[in-house]
Amino acid sequence: MTALDQLTSALGGLVDTDPTTLEDARADQSGHAAPGRPLAVVHAETVEHVQAVMRIATATRTPVVVRGAGTGLAGAANGGQGEIVLSTRRMTAIHEISADDLLAVVEPGILNADLNDVLSEHGLWWAPDPASRAISTVGGNIATGAGGLLCAKYGVVRDAVLGVDLVLSDGRLLRLGHRSVKGVTGLDLTSLVIGSEGTLGVVVGATLKLRRLPEGTTCTLTATFPDVRAAAAASAAVTASGVQPAIMELMDAASLAAVAAMLELPLPSAGAAQLTIQTDGPGSVAEATTIAEILTAHGGDAQVSHDRDEGERLLAIRRAMHPAMARLGTTLIEDVSVPRSAMPAMFDEISRIEEAYSMTIPTVAHAGDGNLHPNFIFEGTEPPAHVWAAADELFRAAIALGGTLTGEHGIGTLKSRWLADELGDDQWELQRQITRVFDPAGILNPGKVFAADA
């Protein structure tokens, strides 16, 4: 029997070979599509379904690509020719919420925002807050090591996961991590799995570290600056002051203009950049006052709102960045990070690259942690050569400034060729060997992250 025959025999209607489904599984929101069509999409609903798929895949040496909502931006969950796409999107259960222990046990297919809607009824929340929270799954957040708007104060996904349940390539189930706040027994395999982009196993459950909803007033500041370098310098000054905002987002002139056009807002002044900053907790009002003084001292025109709903409306402008870019054409959304003090220099590099390649690169940044998202706009389905040449310079500039290729989107397919440049050959090979310990047959997400020609 073929792999497809075995899947159908074992899982029946969960095996989907509809041409539209297969075509959709080839691509994510990066715009990149894998070559060819996958063999099937399996809509797993239980851990046992996942185990059955992996046993069949191992027995038949059929590659497997794990997929959640398909909202990734690096091509890591794209299924190609002859591959099984293992979807965990239907695995949405919340098995436990413990307010006493500040934890929740969930399945990977639940959407980030849906989880927090439920947790809010208990006065709790899961802190990771990617801009895609309304459409991205917890499992996808774990697979990419996602971040978001709240990282500077509340950390990234790795800081908010106590344990994961992982199905290996041969179908064995491991329960990694712990329920306790502390736990240092053995190697930290939970942290190894977070950000591994489907190369080590299939995440089928997670024990999440929760927080209580912040008390006090939430204050939101907006400040416009004559140019993006001034805004970046002001954000670095806020960080250096020791004040810790919950959110600090930067939008350059091109991104502001695109969002304003989409939302039918007044167009910003030519060249103007904007910081949107939010403080929370008992000290939020005093912190907002201090931050406003810093922004004003650095040439910003700052305004402060103490109204939570108004704050969400202001943040909605930042969250509208991705759909605004999509209106301009196909978008390669990049994801470099640099030390926060190096952000002005990184924006200088982006300006240099724009001039060198005669292009506009709309850029937003999680300014509180130095994570920039430059956007390359082009026509068609794949970036042309000059876009990759410009991206190449951008990646190398970030690394030269002490930064990294990715802060939260992952490596996937699109950045694998640069991975060894950051890690060095020895570390690249060591990490590749680690994936083979988990997946000796090499069937999990082949050609992603540690591509053979990297």
Confidence (pLDDT) at 453: 52
* DSSP conformation class of 27: B
Of 130, 290, 96, the closest CA to residue 210 belongs to 96
316 Cβ contact partners less than 8 Å away, ≥ 6 residues apart: none
Q: In the sheet that 247-251 helps form, which strands lie side by side, from edge to edge? A: 301-305, 219-225, 273-279, 247-251, 363-366, 371-378, 330-333
Second CATH level (architecture) for the domain 94-212: 2-Layer Sandwich (3.30)
Own/partner pairs for 286-290, CB < 8 Å, 24+ apart? 287/219, 287/243, 287/244, 287/245, 288/219, 288/221, 290/241, 290/243
CB 336 within 8 A of CB 394: yes
Confidence (pLDDT) at 326: 87
CA distance 155 to 326: 28
Rg (CA), the chain: 22
Mean pLDDT by 10 residues, the chain (454 residues): 96 97 94 92 98 98 97 94 98 98 98 96 93 90 92 91 98 97 94 97 98 93 96 95 95 95 89 95 95 97 92 89 89 93 96 96 95 92 91 97 95 94 96 97 95 60
Confidence (pLDDT) at 222: 95
Confidence (pLDDT) at 454: 41
CA distance 396 to 401: 9
Amino acid residing at 398: A
CA distance 373 to 30: 13
Which phi and psi angles does 181 have, rounded to 5°? -65, -40
Q: pTM, whole model, 2 decimals?
A: 0.93
- 3-87 and 94-212 agree in CATH topology: no
Q: In the sheet that 202-209 helps form, which strands lie side by side, from edge to edge? A: 94-98, 103-106, 202-209, 161-167, 173-177
Which phi and psi angles does 352 have, rounded to 5°? -60, -45
Second CATH level (architecture) for the domain 3-87: 2-Layer Sandwich (3.30)
Which single residue is written with the structure tokens 């759909």?
A: 323
Domain extents in the chain: 3-87, 94-212, 219-400, 415-454
CATH of 219-400, one of 3.40.462.40, 3.40.50.10090, 3.40.50.920, 3.40.50.1820: 3.40.462.40
